[in-house]
Structure formats: C-alpha cells, structure tokens
Amino acid sequence: MQKIILAQINYIEDHSEKILPLGILSVGSALKKAGFAVEIINLNEKEISSIASYIAGQNPLWVGLSVMTGIQTEHSALLSQQIKAQWSGPIVWGGIHPSLLPSQCLSENYIDYVIISEGEKTSIELTEKLLQQKDLSGVLGLGYKQNNVIKINPERPFIQNLDEYRLDFSLIDLEKFIFPLGKYKRVIAYKASRGCPFNCAFCYNHIFNKNRWRAWSIAAVVEDILFLKTKYKIDAIKFYDDNFFVNKNRAFEILEKINLPSHLEVRIDSIDENLAQKLKELKVFDMLIGVESGSNRLLEMIDKKITVQRIMEGVKVIAAYDLPATYSAIVGLPTETKAEFESTIDLFYQIRKIHRKAVFSLGAYLPYPGSRMYDFALEKGFKAPVNTLGWGKIDRFRKDFKSPWVNAQKVWRIREYFKFLNLKLGPLIGWFEFRIKERFFVCPFDIYVVELLAGVAIEQKGWLGKVLRRGYNLIKKYG
Ligand code: B12
C-alpha cells in the first residue's frame, strides 16, 4: 500500500522542533485508524532539500504539509516546489494558513489540495476518493483544482465527538518531543480542547473555530497523560489549548487526576482568589495571559472583554499567591495613538512593580485574514501580501516586520529589554529597568551583548549577525 507522508517544518530559531507536531499527528492518527499507512516527518528548514528528495523517492499516495502563517509558509512553499520538481503526485496543504486563504494557496502551482480547518475526516475522505479516482465535489472542507478552476467545497461541520479522534503516539518517536522547561526536565506538549467561546477581533478563532469550544473527555485526556507519565516519565506538561479554563471544573479534574505541574493559558478575568488558590495547589508552573493592551479604548476595539482595572486586579491576586505568569500584549493596533502605545509599555511596567516573577511578551499586530478586524486593518492601510511566498515573509515577532501603525524595530527592542528582566543578570537588570522606565531605546548595543552572552536567539542579519553567531558558537565551544 502506498503511504501518506505528513510533514511539518520547524524554524530553527523558534526552537520548536521539540514541540509535538499535534496537527499532523492528529491527522495521521485518524488516517491510520481508517486503515492507511502514514509516515510523519518533523523537519527543520535546513533539511528541506534532502527531505524533498526523500519524499519524491518514496512516491507516496499524497504528501501533506502543516502550515502556519509566517516563515513556515515560506519554508513549506520551498519544500513543495522542490518536491514538485522531482515528483508529480498530489501535494496537500493543511493547517491555519491554507484554512484562512484557501484560494490564494490553490493558485500556486505547487499546491494541489487544501484542507480547511479540522483535517481528520477530510483527509480520510480525500484519500478514499483519490484511490477510487472519484469526484471530489462532495468532500466537505476540501479545496482543489479542476481544469485549472479553483473549487472550494462547503465547510465541514466540526467533529461531534473528539474522543473518536485520539492521538496515536506510536506514529512518532515521542522521546524526540520531550524537552526541558524551567526546572522540569521532561516536558511534553498536549492539547485537551479546541477553540474558544470568546471572539477577540484579532484572533484566528473567529474563522477557524467559529468561536466554538470542543473538548476531549476528561477520561481520554487523563488516560493519554498518565500513559506519557508512566511510559515516558514526563515530569510536567505544556497545554496548547486556545482556552484551557472554559469549563473550570473539567480543567481542575484533569489537573487533579494527572497530578503533574502544568503550563497553560488563562484569561485574566477568570482570575480570582479561588482560582489562584486552585492553580497553586494544582502545581501550575507557568500561565500565558493575553492582557493585550494598556488602553481601555483598544481593549474595547479588539473586543477582549477586559479593562485595565480588571487586569490589575488579576495581577494583584496572582502576585499575592506567588504564581508565575507570562503576560503578552499587542502594540501597533490600527488607530493606536502614541499615548496608547505608551500605556501598554506602562502596563507592563506597572505589572512588574507588583508581580516580580512576571515575564513579558510584546508583539506588533499582524492582521490575519478571516479575523474580525482584518477588513478594518486593510481600510487603515495594511497592505496584504498577494501570494503565499509574500505571507511567508511577514512575521510579527521579527524586527524586519513592517507595520503601518508601529515601528516594529522599536517593538523588538522593547520586547528584548523586558525579556532580559527575567535573566540572571545581576546589577544589569537595573540598567534595563532604567531603559524601560525612561523609554530610552536608542543605541541597543546591550541587546547584542546580552544575546551573545546568554545565547538568546540571534536573528541579526548581515555581517553583525555573522559575527555575533560566530562569537556565540565560540563561547559555547570553549566557554
Ligand atoms: C504550538 C503552536 C506554535 C508552535 C508550533 C510548534 C510545533 N512544532 O507544532 C510554535 C511556537 C513554533 C508557534 C509559532 C508561531 N505561531 Co503558533 N501556535 C501554536 C498553537 C498554540 C498550537 C498549534 C497546534 O498544535 N494545534 C493543534 C492541532 C491539532 O491543531 P491544528 O494545528 O490547527 O491542526 C488541525 C488543522 O489545522 C488541520 N491540520 C493541521 N495541519 C495539517 C496538515 C495537513 C496535511 C492536513 C490535511 C490538515 C492539517 O488538522 C488538524 C487537526 O484537526 C496555536 C494555537 C492553538 N491553540 O491551536 C498557535 C497558532 C497556530 N500560532 C499562531 C501564530 C501567530 C504563531 C507565530 C506567528 C507566533 C505567534 N504566536 O504570534 C509563530 C509563527 C510560526 C512561524 N515561525 O512561522 C497563530 C496562527 C496564526 C496563523 N494565521 O497561522 C495561532 C493560531 C495562535 C493564535 N491564536 O494566534 N506556534
């Protein structure tokens, strides 16, 4: 039987190769359960050429790539082009990027099919139809080309019972996806639910999950995690759910039963004394909290359903319970004024004053197609890329990102200074605090020095980047 190859390209600088590729693992598990042979390949961008030759040489039934908008889009396009140059079989794109822009993806000659949103059932039906050489018009959630005309079939309803689609861990060498995080040595990524009932205007959830939250049963989640705990000796877990606490009792029961420290996402407006107490007892070792902005006007514009006052109330409780938290915010929202931008930096600064363990993540806004704010962003000056490679060039966390509403270079500098506050840098911390407090962001020589010494990702392009990376490698070798 010809196998199906599912691949995902990780970007070396994201350090993401150790994160379980949950999308292709889930689709692969469903295909295997339906009786098809599946191979999963988790690669990085340096391996594109060799893997392209390998895939072409295997002559699979079809090859599927999982694609997020950003550098992964560019790398997936390169891999697809290289496979196409050596092999004429079908190339299928799935994941968030092709789900948001199916027609644009299909207009590329290196993409034959796109699978929109949840991929399990659609992949099985596509495979059956390809084997039987049957008409594809009835396959819900599929995009394809017929006589050079792009066809997008109607949406597929969400899976009713996620328990019918469990991960098959035997498809992957799990040992490769266990990573150290903080004081834990053997952490693994896992997702216990899909979607979120909130409708934030910047988020992919609106189009991708239709604001619907679906979850695996407590029994299924606990069984998976206890298996990982017993067989692979994992000592902590990192949940990648869009919103882990939609059903608080379910979440508590899972955490109680697995009895493992966990990293998860939580909304600040769900934080009260009760929840904080529970999180402490349940050994939550980090929480990602989207506070998004220091301006109430912008919080309302993005429909986040929180206020700055509620944020600060939550922070006080978190600090009182000595819980760790990573706060993330978005700057450069359309119509953001300079004062509003400053208010977000100030929000971080105020949070740090109360919560010394706080970690911060600051990113410039990038409009994603299908999100509620996308058309507004176009109206306010966002120039959307016109093809797949174009989308592959924009990444809101890189300093070469160009935003119509904010200086992304400056955002990058501020983000780095906040990041440094959590490094063990002794008296230098005072210097970084001074920079933030006084908004003194010119001449960022210290960022390069710290990156060099701390081995934080060095993404500088050109000669300076080369020198820094070489220096870092020398320090690693002899230091
Ligand atoms: C883990 C994760 C990452 C990891 C991925 C590492 C890894 N090895 O997998 C890392 C840290 C690298 C990452 C980076 C980024 N991420 Co991210 N990430 C996620 C996260 C939390 C989970 C993804 C996941 O595993 N989902 C679980 C699987 C089961 O769901 P799925 O991937 O959607 O897969 C289903 C379908 O899409 C489809 N499918 C998926 N792949 C395939 C492949 C085939 C062949 C088929 C047929 C179907 C199919 O079927 C699957 C099952 O139904 C999501 C948010 C979320 N909770 O989903 C954000 C998310 C995907 N990331 C996002 C973003 C914006 C980013 C970054 C730009 C940084 C950022 N956070 O702003 C970078 C960009 C990456 C790059 N360099 O290009 C956005 C997506 C935006 C977009 N338009 O793509 C999300 C949705 C977060 C958000 N709410 O904004 N991310």
Under a CB-based contact definition with an 8 Å cutoff, are residues 37 and 3 in contact? yes
Pocket test for ligand 1, best of 55, 61, 67, 68 (most atoms within 8 A of CB): 68
Mean pLDDT within 345-365: 95
Name the segment(s) of the chain with CATH classification 3.40.50.280: 4-152
What pLDDT score does 451 carry?
A: 74
Nearest CA owner, ligand 1 atom 40: 95
Predicted confidence at residue 471, as pLDDT, reads 66
Q: Are 3 and 58 in contact (CB under 8 A)?
A: yes
- How would residue 338 be classed by pLDDT, with cut points 50, 70 and 90? very high
What is the model's pLDDT at position 427?
A: 80
Radius of gyration of the chain, Cα coordinates, nearest whole angstrom: 23
pLDDT > 90? residue 467: no
Closest CA to 30 of 120, 130, 126: 120
Residues 242-270: tens digit of each pLDDT: 999 999 999 999 999 999 999 999 999 99
Q: Which atom of ligand 1 is nearest to the CA of 10?
A: 8
Question: Residue 9: its pLDDT value, please?
Answer: 98
Query: How many CA atoms, within 13 angstroms, populate the side-chain half-sphere of residue 29?
Result: 16
pLDDT tens figures, 300-337: 999 999 999 999 999 999 999 999 999 999 999 999 99
299 lines ligand 1 (CB under 6 A): no
Better-predicted residue by pLDDT, 443 or 203: 203
Strand pairing class (113-115; 91-94): parallel
Whether the CB-CB separation of 352 and 315 falls below 8 Å is answered with no
Query: Which residue, by CA, sits nearest to atom 49 of ligand 1?
Result: 94
Which 3 state secondary structure label does DSSP give 377?
helix
CATH, domain 162-441, list 3.40.50.720, 3.40.50.300, 3.40.50.10320, 3.80.30.20: 3.80.30.20
Measured from the CB, is residue 10 less than 6 Å from ligand 1? yes
Give yes or no for residue 457 having a pLDDT over 90.
Answer: no
Confidence of residue 448 (pLDDT cuts 50, 70, 90): confident
Strand partners, 363: 330
Tokens of 223: 């069984």
Question: What percentage of the chain reaches a pLDDT higher than 70?
Answer: 94
CB 105 within 8 A of CB 93: yes
In this predicted structure, what is the pLDDT of residue 472? 61
pLDDT of 465 reads: 64
Question: Ligand 1: distance of its center to the CA of 21 in Å?
Answer: 9
Residue type, 338: K
Q: How far is C-alpha 463 from the chain's CA centre?
A: 30
pLDDT at 473 exceeding the cut of 70: no
Question: What is the biggest distance separating any 2 CA atoms in the chain, rounded to whole angstroms?
Answer: 69
Architecture of domain 4-152: 3-Layer(aba) Sandwich (3.40)
Q: Of all protein residues, whose CA lies closest to atom 34 belonging to ligand 1?
A: 23
| 458: pLDDT strictly greater than 60 | no
Nearest to 441 by CA among 401, 399, 409: 409
CA distance 103 to 144: 9
- pLDDT digit string (tens) for 160-180? 999 999 999 999 999 999 999
Contact 417, 433 (CB under 8 A): no
Q: Pairing state of beta strands 4-10 and 284-292?
A: unpaired
Cα separation, 8 vs 75, whole angstroms: 10
Q: How far from 398 is each of 170, 196, 359, 467, 472, CA to CA, in Å?
A: 36, 27, 19, 19, 20
Question: Residues 372, 199: contact at Cβ < 8 Å?
Answer: yes
Average pLDDT rounded to a whole number, residues 57-77: 97
What residues does CATH 3.80.30.20 cover in the chain? 162-441
Look over the chain and give the mean of its residue pLDDT values, rounded to a whole number: 93
Q: What length is written for the chain? A: 479
8 A C-beta contact, residue 365 and residue 202:
yes
Distances (CA, A) of 300 to 2, 293, 308, 350: 52, 10, 11, 20
Q: Is 41 in the pocket of ligand 1 (CB under 6 A)?
A: no
Helix and strand totals (H; E) in the chain: 19, 16
| pLDDT for res 238 | 98
Query: Do the beta carbons of residue 460 and residue 468 sit within 8 Å?
Result: yes
The two tokens of residue 74 are: 């560019």
